Amino acid sequence: MLLDILAFGPHPDDVEIGIGGTLIKHASQGYRCGIVDLTRGEAGSNGTPEIRREEALQAAEIMGMKTRDNLGLPDARLQADEESLRAIIEVIRKYRPRVVLGPYWQDKHPDHLRASQLVREAAHLAGLRRYPAEGEPYRPPLLCHYFLAVFEEPTFVVDISAYYARKLEALGAHQSQFALPRDIEWRTLVNDPLFIRMIQARDQYVGSMIQALYGEGLFFEQKLVVQDLTVLQGIPQDRSALKFGGGEKT
């Protein structure tokens, strides 16, 4: 099975937090999207790997993903080593995605940093014919980074306003992580009711950068190649569909 977009997450709920709306939007447009979680989240203060896997699969269904794999790399001890790299290279070679999404390389959580490094390196090395990993060589043409704990100026913003209810629903599937403290074993940053509101606040702020209600920012470290200026900014064919000003009047 080939995918159009493949998103890598360090832990089973990271993809939803950082890029959930973007994945939902593209899946709704008919693109084949999938998620690969690097770890099973066994070092999380709440839930078990089994519960978290169930929740992740439920979230993937809500988001319309074609697949959600888990590489079972060690949570809280993720290493940018040869073995982890090979596992990610083999996934990239298997799904041959047109777009790869991975976490941004600055973050408080060491797993997020290493996941970023692993995905960046794997996306390149997967294309080397002689790299010792399973699968046919393949280098994804586009690698973008999404933000978790640290936010930087994004290269571009995806308008996710129309899909926001589903992003919240997908986050809500991770009951063991985000439920209110009274239902949960151990109080953490993410099960504080403020956490979901902080995600929402950021998504609204990012949306405001493009005059949309909600947005998700992506970082791309090279220059964007443009073949057709008229597809940028979601410019409609029909001028009367322009949101502000314009119209067919002139």
With binding defined as CB under 5 A, does residue 103 bind Zn ion?
A: no
Residue 112 C-beta: closest distance to Zn ion, Å: 6
Query: Of the listed pieces 11-19, 129-137, 149-157, 212-220, which binds Zn ion according to CB under 5 A?
Result: 11-19
Q: Write down the least CB distance from residue 87 to Zn ion, Å.
A: 18
Minimum gap (Å) between residue 12 Cβ and Zn ion: 8
114 binds Zn ion (CB under 5 A): no
When CB distances to Zn ion are compared, the closest residue is 11
- Token pair of 226 as six digits: 């443009």
Task: Please name which of 172, 149, 78, 160 lies closest in space to residue 119, comparing C-alpha atoms.
Answer: 78
Pick between residue 41 and residue 212 the one whose CB is nearest to Zn ion: 41
Q: With CB under 5 A as the rule, give the number of residues binding Zn ion.
A: 3
Task: Read off the tokens for 71.
Answer: 């590489």
Q: Which of 4, 10, 63, 64 binds Zn ion (CB under 5 A)?
A: 10
Q: How far is the CB of 232 from Zn ion (least distance, A)?
A: 32
- What lies within 8 Å, CB to CB, of 21 at 6+ separation is 158, 160, 163, 164, 166, 167, 203, 214, 216
Sequence-separated (6 or more) residues with CB below 8 Å from residue 125: 85, 89, 131, 133
Instruction: Write down the least CB distance from residue 199 to Zn ion, Å.
Output: 13
Q: Is 11 in the site for Zn ion (CB under 5 A)?
A: yes
Residue closer to Zn ion (CB basis): 14 or 203: 14
CB nearer to Zn ion: pick between 20 and 93: 20
What does the DSSP assignment read for 84-127? HHHHHHHHHHHH--SEEEEE-S--SSHHHHHHHHHHHHHHHHTT
Residue type, 195: F
Sign of the torsion angle spanned by Cα atoms 203, 205, 207, 212: positive
Stretch that binds Zn ion, among 2-10, 135-143, 230-238, 239-247 (CB under 5 A): 2-10
* DSSP SS3 for 138: coil
Binding mask 14-33 for Zn ion (x = CB under 5 A): x-------------------
The CB-of-196 to Zn ion minimum distance in angstroms stands at 15
Q: Which is nearer to Zn ion, 32 or 174 (CB)?
A: 174
Mark residues 133-152: x for contact with Zn ion by CB under 5 A, - for none: --------------------
Distant-in-sequence, close-in-space partners of 249: CB < 8 Å, separation ≥ 6:
none
With CA atoms as reference, report the closest residue to 52 among 150, 179, 203, 149.
179
Residues of the shown chain interacting with Zn ion in the complex, contacts defined by CB under 5 A? 10-11, 14
